[in-house]
Amino acid sequence: MTTRLLVWRHGNTDWNAGSRVQGQTDVPLNDLGRRQAAEAAALLAAMRPDAIVSSDLRRAADTAAALAARTGHLVTHDERLRERYFGAWQGLTMAEVAEQRPAEYARWTAGEDVGGDVEALDVMGKRVGEALRDAATLGDTVVVATHGAAARQGIAYLLGWPREQIRTLRALQNCHWVELSHDESRGWQLGAYNVGVFAERPVPPPV
């Protein structure tokens, strides 16, 4: 039996629009984000998901709710699907991070662990990846609403990718998703990446 897992980034927020680091701050969707969620939900509903799982942060939970309204499924919330904890970065714009914390910013742009109170990449990947793996047991097709950095690191954990390979993936756009499949003979495979309705430029950072 093959399982299909659709890992869906939440819709736009005012902090996304302002290039402000959200991390685990509970920022709501803005009007654009709610519209994105509704339009993406129409496509995802056509895939007939058996279950919907979401981060408990509002921007992801409200994105998932748009799909639940179309399918009639209840949303299961899992705090392991939260975005990376960015500590003192949260609430700052990326320009402010670069100015105020240049050493940490340099490590972030290099794809390394930031240090300080920012969550380590492998720690995030393990918690999100385990949540994705558990969600995949809920049906043949499962949609998981989560966050940009969390999605990339979590799918890399499932696929067994090294950190260098993760950096070859572009950031997920708001309300776009990743399609993964799993069966006993081939394990986890990446089917599609950055699929969705909207083509945003520039791509906002996955924070």
The predicted-structure confidence for 164-182, as pLDDT tens digits, reads as follows 999 999 999 999 999 999 9
Secondary structure of residue 47 in the 3-state scheme: coil
Number of domains in the chain: 1
Q: Which of 171, 141, 189 is nearest to 16 (CA)?
A: 171
Per-residue pLDDT, 207: 56
Per-residue pLDDT, 1: 84
Q: Taking the chain, what is the end-to-end CA distance rounded to the nearest angstrom?
A: 35
Does 112 participate in catalysis according to the annotation?
no
Q: At what angle do helices 121-135 and 148-159 cross, to 10 degrees?
A: 80
Structural domain includes residue 205: no
Structural domain includes residue 120: yes
Does 83 participate in catalysis according to the annotation?
yes
Q: Which of 10, 73, 147, 176 is catalytic?
A: 10
pTM of the predicted model, to two decimals? 0.94
Q: Which of 200, 174, 154, 201 is nearest to 9 (CA)?
A: 174
* CATH code of residue 83: 3.40.50.1240
**What pairs with residue 53 in β-bridges?**
76, 144
Q: Which of 83, 104, 119, 147 is catalytic?
A: 83
Q: Which residues form the domain of 148?
A: 3-195
